[in-house]
Amino acid sequence: MKRQCLGKTAQEKKFSVTYYREEYERNNQRVNSKRGRYMKSKRQSTVEPVFGTLTQFMGLRKINTIGIQQANKVTHLSVIAYNLKKYLKFISKVVRSEANSLTTYLTQKINNIWGEISWYNLFNNIEMR
């Protein structure tokens, strides 16, 4: 029986019972409820990717300041940089599409002018003969 409970290498098995067991159980029920699963999915899609980007790609793994106020300033500046980067990426898409439409517009105008010049040259060549 001892071998079945403990396994091959363990000498003893420990049970840990905490004073806050009721709070743990209440928290587990709240997290596993329908609303808890919904809130977890919302958090995973909104907040956690931002923290992942800040820590992995923008160097915010460690905050080298003293005090909560300075740490808050560093965090706010990092989040502002993240939002500006995101905003500039959004703006550049608009600029590219406008540049494409501008290129199309200029190409059409150049073709129209070239066509008028060609007709003008053709007309002048006919009159000169």
Average pLDDT, the chain: 77
- The predicted pLDDT at position 91 comes to 67
The count of structural domains within the chain is 1
> Is residue 85 within 8 Å of 53, Cβ to Cβ?
no
25 lies in which domain range? 18-93
Tell me, what DSSP letter sits at residue 59? Answer: -
How confident is the model over 71-123, as pLDDT tens digits? 888 888 888 888 888 887 776 555 555 666 777 777 777 777 766 665 555 55
79 is a domain residue: yes
Contacts of 32 (CB under 8 A, 6+ apart): none
Residue 51 lies in a domain: yes
Inside any domain, residue 1:
no
Kindly write down the DSSP assignment for every residue of 69-117, as one continuous string.
HHHHHHHHHHHHHHHHHHHHHHHHHHHHHHHHHHHHHHHHHHHHHHHHH
Domain-located, residue 126: no
In a domain, 22, yes or no: yes
Read off the pLDDT of residues 17-61 as tens digits, 9 standing for 90 and up. Answer: 788 989 999 999 999 999 999 998 888 888 778 888 888 877 788
Domain annotation covers residue 46: yes
27 in any annotated domain: yes
Is the residue at 101 inside a domain?
Answer: no
